Each structure stands twice: as structure tokens, then as C-alpha cells.
């Protein structure tokens, strides 16, 4: 079978614009996911606060227990039944962000629990409240330990963002499908799309490795 990449070259500017949308929606979703993950992760640290712990646990269980595609469809196709019409881009950001937040919360919880509890007790013995000790003593150390797994989550989010093309968002996948609809060269276009995702995830991986190396050299990451 002969391969013909001429439709790919002709549509390359559209693919690059789609890649920019992919980066934009992924970055917005990651920011939302980090905020949700931090709040939910802290909320799951203390089972004694039952309603907070129960709500956070239910959120993590529901999001991690259902497919991302179904969650995106609920936002885009389900909410209009209740009179709530959200732009496709916002649905994509919310869907990816809420989905990512459930996984980030486990990263946050694990990083905080990895900090020696003796540091919290020492801070409280100096007169700090639990909230102040968490903010000034525990979290700064935990954030450093979160960076490597958060990088992996960012890479996974880039790949998961391909699903937002089903919401008519003009990401790289959607732009590729438009080229296929005209040229009927699906294999060549999908190979080009795969290359775009490979470059995006590869760039993120290189940046993360450099950042982790700097942290290790500074003695912050072990």
C-alpha cells in the first residue's frame, strides 16, 4: 500500500493550530485539577471530619470509577436537559480538570502523609495551629515530592485530551479528522497526529527530567 502524506503537508497549519488548542485546554485542565486535587487531598486526610471526608471520598470514587468519555458527554450533552448550556471548550476543561483532580488528590494525600508527623507535632509545640503548620511546614516539603507524579499526570492529561474532539473542540484530533473527511487518507493523518502527541509529551518529559535533576542537585528531591 502506498502512503500519500500530501494531505498532511497541506493541512499541517491546521494541525499546528489544533496542537495549540490541545496545549491550552490541557494547561487549563491541569490548573483546575491541581486546585481540586489539593483541596480534596487535604480533605481526605482527617476521617474525623466525616462530612468533608465522606464528600471528598465519594468524589474520588465516582470520578475514578467512571470513564472520562462518559463524564465529558454528561457535561456536553446531559446538562442541556437541565437548561445549562456550556461552551464546548469549557466542558472540555471542566471534564478533564475534574477527572484529573481525583488523581491529583491521591498524589497530594500521599505526599503529605510521607512527611514525618513529628514535624507537625514540633510545629504545634511551638504554638502553631494545625492549619499554620500545614501551610508553612508540611505543604512546602510535600509540594516538592508531588512534582514527579504531577508531571506524569500532565503527560496522561495531554493524551486524554484527544477525547475532547468529540465535543467539537478544534484540537489536533478534530483538525486531523477534518483532513481525513476531505482526503480519505486516514492512516497518514493519524500517523501525523500521533507524531504531534509524541512531540508534546516528549517535550514535557524533557522539561520534567531537567526540573527533577535540578531538585536532586539542590538536595530537595530524594
Q: Which pLDDT tens digit goes with each residue over 111-141?
A: 888 887 777 777 777 777 777 877 778 887 8
pLDDT of residue 222: 56
Query: Which of these CATH numbers, 3.60.15.10, 1.10.1380.10, 1.10.3720.10, 3.40.50.10860, describes 6-217?
Result: 1.10.3720.10
How far is residue 141's CA from residue 202's CA, in Å, rounded to a whole number? 27
Cell of 174: 478534530
- Cβ atoms of 177 and 186 within 8 Å: the answer is no
pLDDT of residue 1: 62
CA pseudo-torsion sign 174, 191, 27, 76: positive
How far is residue 193's CA from residue 19's CA, in Å, rounded to a whole number? 9
pLDDT of residue 57: 93
pLDDT of residue 73: 95
Q: What are phi and psi of 115, to 5 degrees?
A: -80, 135
How far is residue 208's CA from residue 205's CA, in Å, rounded to a whole number? 5
pLDDT of residue 177: 92
Predicted TM-score (pTM) of the model is: 0.87
- Domain segments of the chain as ranges: 6-217
pLDDT of residue 165: 92
pLDDT of residue 26: 94
Q: State the CB neighbour count (10 A cutoff) for residue 23.
A: 17
pLDDT of residue 59: 95
CA 8 to chain centre: 29
Spell out, as residue ranges, where the chain has pLDDT lower than 70: 1, 218-222
- Cβ atoms of 30 and 22 within 8 Å: the answer is no
Amino acid at each position: 500500500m502506498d502512503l500519500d502524506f500530501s494531505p498532511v503537508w497541506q493541512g499541517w497549519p491546521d494541525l499546528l493550530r489544533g496542537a495549540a488548542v490541545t496545549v491550552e485546554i490541557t494547561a487549563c485542565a491541569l490548573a483546575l485539577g491541581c486546585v481540586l486535587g489539593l483541596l480534596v487531598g487535604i480533605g481526605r486526610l482527617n476521617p474525623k471530619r466525616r462530612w468533608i471526608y465522606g464528600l471528598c471520598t465519594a468524589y474520588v470514587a465516582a470520578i475514578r470509577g467512571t470513564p472520562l468519555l462518559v463524564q465529558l458527554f454528561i457535561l456536553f450533552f446531559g446538562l442541556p436537559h437541565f437548561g445549562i448550556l456550556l461552551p464546548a471548550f469549557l466542558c472540555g476543561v471542566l471534564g478533564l480538570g475534574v477527572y484529573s483532580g481525583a488523581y491529583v488528590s491521591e498524589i497530594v494525600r500521599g505526599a503529605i502523609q510521607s512527611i514525618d508527623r513529628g514535624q507537625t507535632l514540633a510545629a504545634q509545640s511551638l504554638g502553631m495551629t494545625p492549619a499554620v503548620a500545614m501551610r508553612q511546614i508540611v505543604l512546602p516539603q510535600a509540594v516538592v515530592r508531588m512534582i514527579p507524579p504531577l508531571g506524569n499526570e500532565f503527560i496522561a492529561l495531554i493524551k486524554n485530551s484527544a477525547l475532547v474532539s468529540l465535543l467539537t473542540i478544534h484540537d489536533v484530533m478534530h483538525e486531523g479528522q477534518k483532513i481525513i473527511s476531505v482526503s480519505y487518507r486516514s492512516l497518514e493523518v493519524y500517523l501525523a497526529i500521533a507524531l504531534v502527541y509524541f512531540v508534546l509529551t516528549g517535550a514535557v518529559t524533557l522539561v520534567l527530567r531537567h526540573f527533577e535533576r535540578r531538585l536532586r542537585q539542590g538536595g530537595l528531591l530524594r
